[in-house]
Structure 1
Amino acid sequence: MRRGLASCVLLGYLASGWAAGAGEQGAPQSAGSGLSILDRSRSMVHDFTEGVARHVDGWFGDKPFEQGGSVSGRIGFKFLTRQHESPDASFRFGAKLDMPNVKEQTYLFFGQENERELVIDQPEPFTRRELLLAEDRKQDQTFFAGVGYALRDNIDFRAGLRSGIKPYAQARYKKGWALGERNHFDFRETLFWNRKDGVGSTTALSFGHGFTRSLAFRWQLAGTISDETDGLAWSNSMGIFKSLGDQRIVSLEALIGGATAGSDNVSETGIRAVWKQPVYRDWTLVEVSLGHFWPQGDAKDENRRGWALGVGFEILF
């Protein structure tokens, strides 16, 4: 039984996304003269975010922020390059604010993210960042802010604004099932709306099997359909994840993606190896990704075939 439970814990850790990772970190200690620049910088970001939360929360009542208030988030940088393409760098920032004077189920959020991936709620493994694809920071990146309401543990509603006062809304449902001691299945459905795409939906499925306490298999599938997609835009990955202790994770995955419309359903295949571990305490993480990708079908181009490398840093606060 202990072995099975440990496998489920590993699978749950590997399946955790942006919000979960940010929420697990406690508030940093107050900066002092003996702390490093990184400690002080993290403390400043946390204190600034908490200051925003306290100020906004004060609009709704007089209940002290200490009675249930909290903030969490993360800052991420990633440097990447693909063979035959120019090197690129991307930045991510996101924060979640829980405030005691607002209803318990309501929270605020803000940050910077890839605009389309934010709206459609793209699963993290299939984002351009994780697929080692360059972005146009002026066109692809956006600042966002909004309000969320958790109706139940597995139902979530969000409404927000992106750069240029562009509104969007989401209704999300997620559910997980333990299938015995070694297997776990997760389902997530997001209905979204924005002016460009109209109404659309993103479905994400994930199945994990724990071989041992530290070794697991994971299969992930995501599909999005809207007025802006050619049929169903889909992504698929299968891989092995190995925990080496002390939050060190190494993985090897096979990737395939495409769209159902057009003469060819598959647009690209690839492999991706990732090493992730803390580099300073448990809240500063480094991730090194190495991949090789093969364009397929109408997108097939020998000049786009090749290796890709990414180095990412994350600070949780």
Structure 2
Amino acid sequence: MRRLLAAGFLVALIPAGIAAPEDEEPAVAQTPLVDAAVTTRESLRATAEWLARGVDSWFGDRPFEEGGAVRNGRFDLRLLLRERKSPDLGARFNASFRLPNIERLGAQLFIGRDNPREVVTDQPNALSREQHLQRRDRRDDAFFAGLGVQGTGGFDFRVGLRGGPKPYAQVRYQHAWRFGPADTLDFRETVFLTRDDRFGSTTVLSYDHDFSPTLVGRWLNAATITQRSKRFEWSSNLGLYRFFGDQRLLSTEAIFRGREGGGVNIEEYGLRLSWEQPLHDVWLLGEISVGHFRERELATDPRRGLWALGLNLKIRF
């Protein structure tokens, strides 16, 4: 798997405009490392389906083949290099399922391994620690699983277990407004309950503007408060995204984060530049990100600058 990671990242650095000769197939299609990725993907899907069959059988005797399926399966292997920090290699995955017996109850199963706080507080992926090129504490990563019910009027509900195991519950409301053909405002409010935080809520507001069919601007904001802390934690992302077709994406983002009452209005801000492209077919992708940030945790600390590099291999299954 480590060889697969290294080769995937090297391929991600190859300019998209360099093509193989017409009488040769692309080299990536012939490498044994791509074969290893295929094997990994098949193993992930087989394991997910095995788990889904077992869980669904608890709720009835309808065969899994009658409508059962793995949905939105994703496995990420990421290497993070941040100045003055040790290298961080980590993995995460997420998947949801269509399960015939559970769907008769109006519910869907979801499982994964990720930062449990980000899962419970319903943080947007674009504002996660990984996307900010921040080192993840492996002790904070945990498995989680649960059931979700899609309600009406923009509401949905989730109950689940995260590492510990610790129970949690979520109620989420979403709504979008269109302002002409190029502007969209998305609002999301999630109220959650955990043993550690008790009641809490996360508010997410996103404004998108389409400059052209291939160029999009986005301003994404999120704020979280809990009954225990009673202080807002907030983050903001102002980005410009250029699509080149075939799942190739260039992103430029200004990133900010802070906490109310911490003595520092903005704990960290910086710029992040990312390139993503397929490495094989449509399910194996590579992403490289570079960022420069200025951080200060305490008002008495001097603000210091640092560089960060993120390399990510994504397998969809």
TM-score range, shorter chain: 0.7 to 0.9
Structure 1: tracts of 5 or more residues without a match = 1-34
Any conservation in 2 of the 1:237–1:253 contact (CA below 8 Å)?
yes
Provide the C-alpha distance between the structure 2 equivalents of 1:215 and 1:47, rounded to a whole number of angstroms: 38
Identity %: 43
Tell whether the 8 Å contact from 1:230 to 1:260 is kept in structure 2 after alignment. Answer: no
Match of 2:40 in 1: 41
Note the alpha carbon deviations across 1:162-217, whole angstroms, 9 max, x for none. 22221111111122222211111111111111111110001111111111110111
- Code of the aligned partner of 2:136: E
8 Å CA contact retained: 1:220, 1:236: yes
Amino acid at match of 1:84: R
Aligned to 1:9: none
CA 229–255 in structure 1, closer or farther in 2 if over 3 Å, else same: farther
User: Given residue 70 of structure 2, which amino acid in structure 1 is its aligned partner?
Assistant: V
Count of equivalent residues: 282
Encode CA deviations 1:232-272: one digit per residue, 9 max, x unaligned: 11111112100011110101111111122243321111111
Deviations 1:141-165 (A, max 9, x none): 1111111111237322111112222
Match of 1:132 in 2: 133
Residue pairs, 1:300-315, within 5 angstroms? 301=301, 304-315=304-315
The answer for the alignment partner of 1:243 in structure 2 is 243
Q: Secondary structure at 1:152's aligned position in 2?
A: coil
Specify every segment of 5 or more residues in structure 2 that has no aligned partner in the other structure, as ranges: 1-33
Amino acid across the alignment from 2:49: E
**Does residue 183 of the first structure (1) align with residue 165 of the second (2)?**
no
Aligned counterpart, 1:113: 114
Distance between the aligned counterparts of 1:241 and 1:81, measured in 2? 24
Q: 1:53 to 1:297 in 2, by over 3 A?
A: closer
Pair 1:276–1:198, CA change in 2 (3 A): same
Task: Describe the SS at the equivalent of 2:102.
Answer: coil
Deviation at 1:297, TM superposition (A): 6.7
- The aligned amino acid for 1:68 is G
Residue 305 of structure 1 aligns to a residue in which SS? strand
CA 1:153–1:308: 2 relative to 1, 3 Å: farther
Q: Is the 8 A contact 2:223 2:234 kept in 1?
A: yes
Q: Residues 24-64 of structure 1, C-alpha deviation per residue, up to 9 Å, x if partnerless?
A: xxxxxxxxxxx933223212211221122122222323333
Q: Distance in 2 between matches of 1:292 and 1:127?
A: 17
Deviation per CA, 1:85-139: give whole Å up to 9, x if none.
Answer: 11111211112121112235301111111121111111111111111111221x2
Match of 2:17 in 1: none
TM-aligned CA distance change 1:58 to 1:224, over 3 Å? same
Which residue is 2:168 aligned to?
168
Point out the more displaced range, 109-118 or 150-159.
150-159
1:21 aligns with none
Distance 1:202 1:211 in 2: 29
Q: TM-score, normalised by structure 1?
A: 0.83
C-alpha distance in 2, partners of 1:275/1:100? 39
- Runs in 1 of length 4+ with deviation above 6 angstroms? none
